[in-house]
Amino acid sequence: MKKNKNKPSKETVAEALKVAKATQKPGQTKEQTKLIAQGIQKGIEQYKKQQKTKARELDKRLKNARKQNNEQAEPEVILSESNSINYLPWGLLAISWLGFLLYSFVLN
C-alpha cells in the first residue's frame, strides 16, 4: 500500500478549517471560507515539510559531530584509563603494607 503524499492529514484539515472559521468575516460565504481553509492547509503542510527538513539536517549534523567526537575522544580515554589502572593496584598494595608495618610496630 502506497501512501498518497498529496493527501493532507485529518488533523491538518481540521486545524485549517478551525482557523478559517475563527477569522471568518460577516457576510463571507461557505465557499470563501473553504478556499481560505485550503490556503491555510497548504501553508500548514509547507511549514511541516520545512520543519521536517530542518530536523533531518540537524540530526545529520549531530550524528556527524558525535561520530567525529567519538573518533577523537576514544584514544584519549584509553590512555587515561590505562594510566590510572597501572597506579591503582600498586598504590593500594603500598598503602596496605605501610598500614601493616605501622600496626605491627605500634603493637610491639
DSSP state of 48: H
**What parts of the chain have a pLDDT lower than 70?**
1-6, 73-85, 108
- Write down the H helix ranges in 1-108: 10-22, 30-107
Do the beta carbons of residue 40 and residue 18 sit within 8 Å?
no
What pLDDT is recorded for position 54? 93
What pLDDT is recorded for position 7? 79
Compute the chain's Rg from CA coordinates: 34
Q: Where are the domains of the chain?
A: 10-83
Do the beta carbons of residue 72 and residue 44 sit within 8 Å?
no
73-96 pLDDT, tens digit per residue, is 655 545 555 555 678 888 889 999
What pLDDT is recorded for position 58? 93
What pLDDT is recorded for position 51? 94
What pLDDT is recorded for position 76? 53
Name the packing angle between helices 30-107 and 10-22 (round to 10°).
120
